[in-house]
Structure 1
Amino acid sequence: MLKNIPPILSPELLKTLCEMGHSDRIVIADGNFPAESMGKNCKVIRADGHGVPELLDAILTLLPLDTYVDKPVSLMQVMAGDDAETPIWEEYKRIITKHDPRGASAIGEIERFAFYEEAKTAYAIIATGEKAVYANVMLQKGVV
């Protein structure tokens, strides 16, 4: 056990966050995201049974967001014609505002298939059990 480390962060995830360098990206994926097929060239960390908001909050206690880009947080854009609600995004805005002075302005959206392509080049993908749709979030690491 370590002091001041959120207990939701597994040893494997802590090691991965520590290994990441400036501008490396990590995806926190919802339960529908094809983590294993997108993560063939990166680390895939299983966090089944956990939701994205809890992991996002815990990760941002340790991981600084990149200040050299306008939008270090990326969400998967809802597909045109898809009748999906994204109330979880409001929770993300609250969490990001808690950890980064830019708040919601640090968040951008990426078209679904472009998000998949970006995810393939991420340092790691965390596969969660999140049930909300369009709940995927990609973080770009900054400098400590």
Structure 2
Amino acid sequence: MLKHKLIHPTINGILGRAGHHGKILIADGNYPVSSKLGPNAELVHLNLMPGLVTCDQVLEAILSAIPIEEINTMMYETTGPYALSEDPPVWDEYRKTLAGAGLDLKLEPIEKWAFYDAVATPDHILTVQTADQQRYANILLSIGVRMD
């Protein structure tokens, strides 16, 4: 019986095979997973219906299971139809989840097109597609080292 919050068997299997620096994308409902997937990444769909599940829920589960050393967000656009003038509200949710997990990690934004490039690397091992409807909810996690 697992003791951490993450109980999805496929995700647990992928994370169990992963190593230091492996990349995990938690994608919102608008992310183009069919065309923006690393060559070694496995895709798990958790998009049941709009808003269920969210990126933050997946983040909480993954943080309970493995060490994370870096978390990148997709930087929001400041012009155009999807523009924002400040950090998306979902980023505050991530900060609370990170603090609740006892992590002192800062969100590190990556420009939108560079974010897609960061996902398309050989060390991208997993994409979890959610149904999160919030703008700029995509997050890219880098696996750390177990210290205990």
Residues paired across the two proteins, number? 135
In the other structure, the counterpart of 2:4 is 5
In the other structure, the counterpart of 1:138 is 140
In the other structure, the counterpart of 2:94 is 92
Secondary structure, in 3 states, of the residue corresponding to 1:37?
Answer: coil
Structure 2: which 5+ residue stretches go unaligned? none
CA distance in 2 between counterparts of 1:127 and 1:40 reads 14
In the other structure, the counterpart of 1:123 is 125
% identity of equivalent residues? 26
Tell me if structure 1 keeps the 8 A contact 2:36–2:116. Answer: yes
Deviations 1:8-66 (A, max 9, x none): x4111111111110011100000000112111612111111311111100100111112
CA distance in 1 between counterparts of 2:62 and 2:26 reads 10
Which stretch of structure 1 is more off in the superposition, 48-57 or 35-44?
Answer: 35-44
In the other structure, the counterpart of 1:69 is none
The answer to whether structure 1 residue 35 and structure 2 residue 33 are counterparts is yes
- The TM-score, its normalising length taken from structure 1, stands at 0.86
Structure having the larger proportion of residues in helix: 1
Tell me if structure 1 keeps the 8 A contact 2:5–2:65. Answer: no
Deviations 1:119-143 (A, max 9, x none): 1122111111111110000110001
Structure 1: which 5+ residue stretches go unaligned? 67-71
In the other structure, the counterpart of 1:20 is 18
Amino acid in structure 2 at the alignment position of 1:91: E
Structure 2 residue aligned with 1:59, among 62, 65, 69? Answer: 62
Amino acid in structure 1 at the alignment position of 2:68: L
CA distance in 2 between counterparts of 1:53 and 1:101 reads 15
What is the Cα-based RMSD across aligned positions, in Å?
1.6
- 1:6: Cα distance to partner? 2.1
Amino acid in structure 2 at the alignment position of 1:115: F
Tell me if structure 2 keeps the 8 A contact 1:65–1:100. Answer: no
